[in-house]
Structure 1
Amino acid sequence: MTAVPRTTCARHLCRAGLSLLAATSVGVHATEGGGSSYPMGAENYMSGAMPPPGLYAQFFVGHYEADSLRDNSGDKVPVDFRVRADSIAPRLIWVTEQQVFGASLAFHALVPLVDLKVEVNGQSQSKQGLGDIIFGPALGFHHSEKLHSILALDFIAPSGEYDRGDLANIGRNYWVIEPVLAVSYIDPNGLNIDAKTMYDFNLRNKATDYRSGQELHIDYAVGWGLGNGWVLGVGGYVLQQTTDDRQDGDRIKDNKGRALAFGPSVKYTSDKGWFLTAKWEQESEVRNRAQGNAYRVKLTVPF
């Protein structure tokens, strides 16, 4: 296969395709339509620390906006483009009393509600509704008082509304299998480091016979605990698409997504057991995706 011409790449990004993933904090990101099923950068501090047995509720709130598309060289694609996505995603976590290989067995489900608007060259479309649901089992390890990790297998279901002819879609219309390894080092009076590493196996979109390439991505946060419940630092994500997309069985070259996001991040832990994280992140080093910025908040509350 020869390389996809730049005009084809731009058309790919702008057409049915700017299907913004739907999940915790929606964002536009390459693969089919320049998007991803997982909301890059959604996680923050405490991503690798499983709580004690019990039921927990989390609420992810996100706002994402972008006004440029980047091609395979990182240059701005010459189209008039703007996207705005707001989301709130409740997540239920059940940590059981069951131990597996010395780890706590847990299950979770995240149900995103999305409000999306896409504008391209004078055309615009808005959609609101249920996005793609994320669920799966997890094992939580506590290696020491400060070091924790989670090993999980997430599944992303094509539950969000999708139409191959639409400009904006809040679902991706294909399943994703996503192994997860998250690690947290927590010190209320010192260094805090969190990294949630994920690898996406994207299955085929039956409506378009398109299979997006596999993606490696990491949500990260680094901060310093002040000893009064507050942690101040930075956070963001790193994304690298590792395999080529395929359409009708043919490989699409020079279309792999890439991005780096960075910005301030804070956490507050209450003495009543709930905690709140918040961050702003700016995307850079983007390839074959939209480039923008996001505001994200996560609240965790025990029942």
Structure 2
Amino acid sequence: MQTRKTVWLAALGASLVATPVLAVNGHYPPGIEGLNAAAAPSEGLYYRGYLLHYDVEHFNDGTGTAVPGDNSGSVTALAHRFIWMTGKQFLGADYGMEAIVPMLDIEFELGIAGGQRFDDDGIGDVFVGPLILGWHGEQWDATFAAGHWFDSADFDVANPASVGKGYGTTMLTLGGVWHLDAEKRWNVSALSRYEIKTEQDDTGITPGDSWLVEWGIGHRLTSGLELGLVGYDAWQLEADDGATTGDKAERHAIGVEAGYLWPTAGVMLKGAAYHEYDAGAGGLKGLESEGDTFRLQLTKFL
């Protein structure tokens, strides 16, 4: 009979070879957006840079139990996002489009795999979003968007730290912001991402659909500084097609965010820290990381 450790080793060898650990089982890394994330900007061209660092505290199996041994790692990402709000309207909404080019540096130290070290760095899979729709009311904002993460980066099935996923992902976005007072000092926001994946050619596995919600409760001070509580919750909704296990991944985190807008300079800077308090693995990866996320976000009106 196989021991639990043997099963975990098999999971690492055959399953964790999938992807960077930030996303549940898709491309979008939770914790990228926070307060007021569901409000599309006004007409113009914008650059938004995300500096994200994720420290792995441990890896969990499908039951959410940490596997034994000294297992750690980190993911550092610098994502370049370009947003163009065209000034045109469609279905009563402001119409825009976007593109994201992520740069990744990934390192794992896996005691459960005999103390092996895995690492990779480079440009990750690229996202192209031809559709952003932003509606704006007196006390609310709503956004819908659609795009695709292309299987454009290098993927090595034998390397758990590979910067590429080895498959593509269609991502649908829906969210809203509600301003609780006339001065718009208090707000509640939620931004959801639904991901539909293609087959991973090297393994023949098709990751199941997943859904993620990033939320925030914010308050803007008279100085212009905005502070708030943020978090994310992500679920794999379907088991991976072709995987050896029917487990479905999930992760949950809570954190804080601060941000400030310099209107005359056309610059907004935000910083956030998240702590993951629960994570469970799905079939494609076999194990799921649990850790802490730190994010800096710079938006510049071009």
Q: TM-score, normalised by structure 1?
A: 0.88
8 Å contact 2:210–2:238 — kept in the other structure? Answer: yes
8 Å contact 1:279–1:296 — kept in the other structure? Answer: yes
- Equivalent position of 2:170 in the other structure: 177
8 Å contact 1:72–1:256 — kept in the other structure? Answer: yes
- Equivalent position of 1:283 in the other structure: 276
Percent identity, aligned pairs only, is 26
Instruction: Show the 5 A alignment for 1:206-225.
Output: 206-225=201-220
- Equivalent position of 2:293 in the other structure: 294
Q: How many Å separate the matches in 2 of 1:196 and 1:205? A: 27
Say which of 9, 14, 31 aligns to 1:41: 31
Alignment CA distance shift 1:9-1:125 (3 Å): closer
- The alignment partner of 2:241 has SS state of strand
What whole-Å deviation, never above 9, does each CA across 1:10-49 have from its counterpart, x for those lacking one?
Answer: 533465625444xxxxx43454xxxx31111211123111
Residue 11, structure 1, aligned to residue 10, structure 2: yes
User: Is 203-212 or 153-162 further displaced after alignment?
Assistant: 153-162
Alignment CA distance shift 1:224-1:75 (3 Å): same
8 Å contact 2:39–2:143 — kept in the other structure? Answer: yes
Instruction: Show the 5 A alignment for 1:1-303.
Output: 7-8=6-7, 11-13=10-12, 17=16, 19-21=18-20, 27-31=21-25, 36-121=26-111, 122-136=115-129, 137-144=131-138, 146-186=139-179, 190-247=185-242, 252-253=245-246, 255-272=247-264, 273-288=266-281, 289-303=288-302
Q: TM-score, normalised by structure 2?
A: 0.88
What whole-Å deviation, never above 9, does each CA across 1:153-179 have from its counterpart, x for those lacking one?
Answer: 121111222111123111101111111
Deviation (angstroms), 1:268: 0.9
8 Å contact 1:274–1:302 — kept in the other structure? Answer: yes
- The alignment partner of 2:134 has SS state of strand
Deviation (angstroms), 1:72: 2.1
Q: How many Å separate the matches in 2 of 1:171 and 1:110? A: 14
8 Å contact 2:274–2:292 — kept in the other structure? Answer: yes
Q: How many Å separate the matches in 2 of 1:257 and 1:85? A: 19
8 Å contact 2:24–2:210 — kept in the other structure? Answer: no
8 Å contact 1:246–1:252 — kept in the other structure? Answer: no
Alignment CA distance shift 1:134-1:225 (3 Å): same
**2:196 maps to amino acid:** F
8 Å contact 1:16–1:169 — kept in the other structure? Answer: no
- Taking only aligned residues, the RMSD between alpha carbons, in angstroms, comes to 2.0
- The alignment partner of 1:84 has SS state of strand
Alignment CA distance shift 1:14-1:275 (3 Å): farther
**2:207 maps to amino acid:** S
Q: How many Å separate the matches in 1 of 2:29 and 2:24? A: 13
